Chains A and B, each alone.
Chain A
């Protein structure tokens, strides 16, 4: 697989960077149409909105941030107008943002699947972690003959694998 240069789960997961235990708050997986394929939370004291609004808001935020990053890129010569949908891989895309209470890491695959991980703000770069989770997705979801693309993921094995891996970050 040219995109990541490794297609098995066997490459060992990245070593834990900060304190072990509850580092991650929640994870979202969206497809290119904005359907939330997976939402799992492990540590979320504050729920501001109901889940549907929360997912829509998250997807909208990411869409706008990608568009902003493409526009503000100082290295590219020609930038599209703000609001024009960017193809995955086209233009400069952000990979994380940090606030004082959380850090959000983002990764988009060429097929438009978006992986979002919300952790505590002191976490270091989580791009390798997201790639590993993408590999888990490929193994348990994409290769699952009973899974219909575009629908929420209902695969217990995938959920437990993600839970287990995220607890070890």
Chain B
């Protein structure tokens, strides 16, 4: 998926997140947290500022919410505290990428080890 597609998907998701709140039968809906499809699951975590984190995984994978929280922590540490990072721009912080890959690997090893 190239950058244009990513942008389209992101804007589509943002609107659908909002529409799903409108269609809620009860009050207090905070948007889509999990989308289950035939071949994948998509977990979404929304921070208090509205930044959304997604994980696409195999159907039925457990503990993705924990992974998303870990990624959120890495984001606050390596991206937001980076003085050269401009808000709302694509993230190009090396440390963030390295730690992100490590976190996902650790998660994968933990899953396989079980």
For B20, give its contact among A54, A61, A92 (CB under 8 Å): A61
A85-109 interface code vs B (CB 8 A; 1 in, 0 out)? 0000000111111111110100000
CB-CB < 8 A to A67: which residues of B?
Answer: 12
For A69, give its contact among B21, B34, B35 (CB under 8 Å): B35
Known A-B contacts A68-B16, A100-B28, A100-B30; A48 and B22 likewise in contact (beta carbons under 8 Å):
yes
CB-CB < 8 A to B56: which residues of A?
Answer: 72, 74
Residue contact B23 to A57, C-beta cutoff 8 Å: yes
Q: Which residue of A lies closest to B19 (CB)?
A: A61
**Quick check: which of A5-13, A38-46, A156-164 contacts chain B, the rest being far away?**
A38-46
A71 within 8 A of B: yes
Q: List 29 A-B contacts (CB under 8 A).
A: A44-B25, A45-B25, A46-B27, A49-B22, A57-B19, A57-B23, A61-B20, A65-B16, A65-B35, A67-B12, A68-B9, A71-B5, A71-B9, A72-B1, A74-B39, A74-B40, A82-B5, A82-B8, A82-B12, A92-B38, A92-B39, A94-B37, A96-B36, A98-B36, A99-B24, A100-B28, A101-B27, A101-B30, A102-B26
CB-based closest 5 A-B pairs: A25-B25, A94-B37, A101-B29, A44-B25, A69-B37
Interface residues, chain B, with chain A CB atoms under 8 Å away: 1, 5, 8-9, 12-13, 15-16, 19-40, 42, 56
